[in-house]
């Protein structure tokens, strides 16, 4: 009987221990659950931080992108506006300036040396008095006359130099003549000047000048002074023969004034 009680007591003790003490599998399961729970919590926390940072980063990136885009757009617009304004203004200014300049030049040319009493030499571009007075003058008188002349609305007339005056010679070769101002104004410079038939020119009165140029056929003063003589003398063109000479200033010759266009 005692032996039976002893066995029953041992069984009761075993059952009690079995009920109160967790099994190894239960302990492992609980540990696994704790580990999973901790992992989930860590994951959720990390994910929350990452998501927040990513969202913030995305927000900053979008903000920066929008700001840069707006800045670029505004800068581009301002640049385009400034460029268009400058280009438009510059083009309009240049066009207006060129138009005004061209108009002024055209008006000046069209209204210059086209009236009565003047003639334009197409070769030299000079404006000549035409027809000049049929009056002979000393050199000083001729110089004074041209300086005071008002013709075709212009007052800047003067005596021609020998270069300009001999350019009027037509039909008689003067290309080999050595008289030139400035250059050779000595009497010896005249040695190579040709002499053509007296009054053999095609111009008015047999003069060697253009056929559409009027005036008395005679000797005309130039403002080029002869060099190497002891008296005052100036060079002239004798249009009846197409030749060049130098006469003393007291001689009486014809005068044809000229002006630059």
Look-up of token digits 């008296």: 231
Using alpha carbons, select from 153, 155, 156, 144 the residue that is nearest to residue 221: 144
| Nearest to 241, CA basis, from 193, 187, 200, 212 | 200
- Average pLDDT taken over every residue of the chain: 72
Query: What backbone phi and psi angles, to 5 degrees, belong to 61?
Result: -60, -45
The whole-number pLDDT of residue 200 equals: 95
17 pLDDT above the threshold of 60: no
Choices 3.10.100, 3.40.50, 3.30.300, 2.40.360: CATH for 118-260: 3.10.100
How many residues would you count in the chain?
261
Least-confidence region, from 184-198, 210-224, 227-241: 184-198
95-140, pLDDT tens digit by residue? 444 444 443 434 344 458 988 899 999 889 999 999 999 999 999 9
Mean pLDDT of the 228-252 span: 96
Query: Which tokens is 67 given?
Result: 């700001």
Alpha-helical (H) ranges within 111-151 are 139-148
Pairing of strands 233-238, 219-225: antiparallel
Give the model's pLDDT for residue 261: 87
> How sure is the predictor about 10, in pLDDT bands with cuts at 50, 70 and 90?
low
Query: Comparing 1-10, 50-59, 204-213, which segment has the lowest mean pLDDT?
Result: 50-59
Q: Is the pTM of this model over 0.75?
A: no
Domain boundaries defined on the chain: 2-109, 118-260
Nearest to 252 by CA among 229, 234, 239: 234
CA–CA gap between residue 252 and residue 234 (Å, rounded): 12
pLDDT given at position 100: 44
Tokens of 83: 């460029």
Q: How far apart are CA 227 and CA 233, in angstroms?
A: 8
């Amino acid at each position: 009987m005692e032996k039976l009680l002893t066995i029953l007591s041992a069984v009761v003790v075993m059952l009690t221990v079995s009920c109160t003490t967790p099994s190894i599998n239960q302990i492992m399961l609980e540990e696994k659950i704790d580990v999973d729970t901790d992992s989930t919590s860590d994951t959720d926390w990390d994910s929350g931080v990452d998501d927040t940072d990513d969202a913030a980063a995305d927000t900053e990136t979008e903000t920066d992108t929008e700001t840069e885009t707006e800045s670029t757009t505004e800068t581009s617009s301002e640049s385009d506006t400034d460029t268009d304004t400058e280009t438009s203004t510059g083009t309009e200014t240049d066009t207006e300036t060129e138009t005004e300049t061209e108009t002024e030049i055209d008006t000046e040319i069209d209204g210059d040396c086209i009236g009565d009493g003047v003639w334009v030499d197409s070769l030299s571009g000079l404006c000549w008095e035409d027809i000049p007075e049929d009056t002979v003058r000393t050199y000083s008188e001729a110089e004074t006359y041209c300086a005071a002349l008002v013709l075709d609305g212009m007052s800047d007339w003067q005596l021609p130099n020998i270069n300009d005056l001999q350019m009027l010679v037509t039909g008689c070769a003067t290309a080999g003549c050595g008289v030139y101002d400035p250059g050779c104004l000595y009497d010896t410079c005249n040695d190579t000047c040709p002499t053509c038939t007296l009054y053999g020119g095609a111009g008015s009165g047999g003069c060697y000048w253009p056929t559409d140029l009027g005036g008395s056929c005679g000797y005309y003063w130039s403002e080029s002074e002869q060099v190497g003589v002891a008296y005052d003398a100036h060079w002239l063109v004798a249009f009846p023969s197409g030749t060049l000479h130098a006469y003393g200033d007291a001689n009486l010759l014809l005068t044809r004034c000229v002006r630059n266009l």
